[in-house]
Structure 1
């Protein structure tokens, strides 16, 4: 990891030196067709237009600037300017971010969007700024489900003992430990290879990510667990952000919000239609025993409520629990 990060930093430093000071680097880890990829291109278009063409944006997709953790490091260091990142990676820097992913907190993305667009989102942004990052907004990364190499897992008993990949997110790890599996974090860009080589029995992701990364071609059994919601925080380096005048800051916020509306809707529409698409491509789906999964993961709430009692309660209230 350390060697890879040095390579990324050297590459991005060279790129930053090759462009003018009014060119912005926006990096992310998704491939063409994914809503995050499309929204990043839209963000670049909107930001440039808002600045009257004075600023342009170079979009670096598909983890070409490193994985999510490395992109956050580069943003903090001022090597890149903005990253459409992941909840799990950001939670390593701002632990409170991980609480968005409490098990079964949100039953639909729209509820999560409303919460993150309000006071909770402002609180999380304040915490991120203490760590050298500015949250411009929260895009969507969907409700997550489990896919397996050889079987569906409709009950916690079915998933027990499974080797499962999670994002680098302690909340996800805690959920799958509570379910009796052997979870291990791995960057998303490395996931297909790890699955093909047999390192894991399965993984968990929203359907959009599973499909765009062709993970459904490897893990052909999907159980609709709906165990966790995750966002896509759009994060700027605080040094870059603080150096912008008010008009440019407004451009960045407006671009994030407008591109985010499109990204959220695209993510939802893709997710809603993907079951039929993947079934047509040979994937077997199963419904999960919701009550059994909720009961099995209840200890996760108890553990996090000890560390963040007020925020856990605020999230539960905002989510209608």
Structure 2
């Protein structure tokens, strides 16, 4: 009996020793994840799902603490904090992250993709992967992309169903050269303006309209001061989930794998939430009285043609090899059935 007990004790001790190295690879950590969106936004839904998956994988040791609604500062401030190692994770738009990796700005070119599926194929394909590979030299690790959805135009004058309908409309745009040139090419009158000033400008007719995802149009109550919403789908906005390299390098291989696997298991959920939110927001905008119209494929093609000179002009400012990869990926995606 005593021999049996000793053997059992030895077996337990051996199991504990075998288990110790693996257990030691995962430490108690609280990981701060900042973003600009409210807690009812698909980005926040994605963060919560990621936190749930990561907690399950790590036995509760790796905890995500979400800081929504710019609680950790604006996007540029949070980028600086992540690069410096004082913040662990940020959901960063390609628009702002292009200040760190310029070629990410190619994602913001007008009319390059026309469906969610095309947008995802671009991000998940060779070009998207190549962009992630440039981040470590900038003190960042990219887990991957979360789509924010298409931007669409609203205004108080008329439906936008063809290129000519843009003519003369004063549209507030992001203070970004590509956006300014895009709407100039469409014969609109683009007005760069801080987002915080937009509602009042629409209300006072300082501008006729603006462009944003449906969810933003709804949450900011632009339906109160805008009559028409048109599915122009002119730009698809991507977020890159970036991790501080300084933080990342302090993680064990097992912890790094848990973060990457949690992202992989969360990506489709977040994508579906983005689609659902867009559909729901559009339905609510209609219910609140906005007049909605689709764009016929032939007219969408005309809008693409009108903005091709913008794409060509700004392409010359990027790495030629990256532009070639970007262009070949677009051709592949558009040709896929």
Q: TM-score, normalised by structure 1?
A: 0.83
- Bigger Rg, which one: 2
Residue in structure 1 matched with residue 239 of structure 2 by the alignment: 232
Distance 1:21 1:168 in 2: 42
Within-5 A mapping of 1:1-321: 22-167=29-174, 169-180=176-187, 181-184=189-192, 186=194, 191-192=198-199, 195-196=202-203, 200-288=207-295, 289-306=299-316, 307=318, 308=320, 309-320=323-334
Contact 1:304 1:312 in 2 (8 A): no
What displacement does 1:297 show? 0.6
Residue in structure 2 matched with residue 3 of structure 1 by the alignment: none
Contact 1:88 1:168 in 2 (8 A): no
CA change 1:35–1:279 in 2 (3 A) is same
Deviations 1:183-238 (A, max 9, x none): 42635x66546655666432212223322443334433211111121212111122
Distance 1:114 1:211 in 2: 28
Distance 2:71 2:287 in 1: 32
Structure 1, gaps ≥5 residues long? 1-19
Residue in structure 1 matched with residue 22 of structure 2 by the alignment: none
Runs of 4+ more than 6 Å apart = none
Q: TM-score, normalised by structure 2?
A: 0.80
Residue in structure 2 matched with residue 9 of structure 1 by the alignment: none
What displacement does 1:34 show? 1.4
Distance 1:177 1:131 in 2: 34
Distance 1:51 1:29 in 2: 27
**Is the partner of 2:44 in helix, strand or coil?**
helix
Distance 1:193 1:117 in 2: 39
Distance 1:193 1:235 in 2: 34
**Is the partner of 1:83 in helix, strand or coil?**
strand
Moved more, 207-216 or 254-263: 207-216
Contact 2:122 2:330 in 1 (8 A): no
Deviations 1:243-265 (A, max 9, x none): 22211111222222222211101
Structure 2, gaps ≥5 residues long? 1-26
Distance 1:128 1:196 in 2: 41
What displacement does 1:102 show? 2.3
User: Over aligned residues, Cα RMSD in angstroms?
Assistant: 2.6
CA change 1:276–1:23 in 2 (3 A) is closer
Contact 1:99 1:171 in 2 (8 A): no
CA change 1:172–1:50 in 2 (3 A) is farther
Distance 2:262 2:200 in 1: 34
Distance 1:210 1:192 in 2: 10
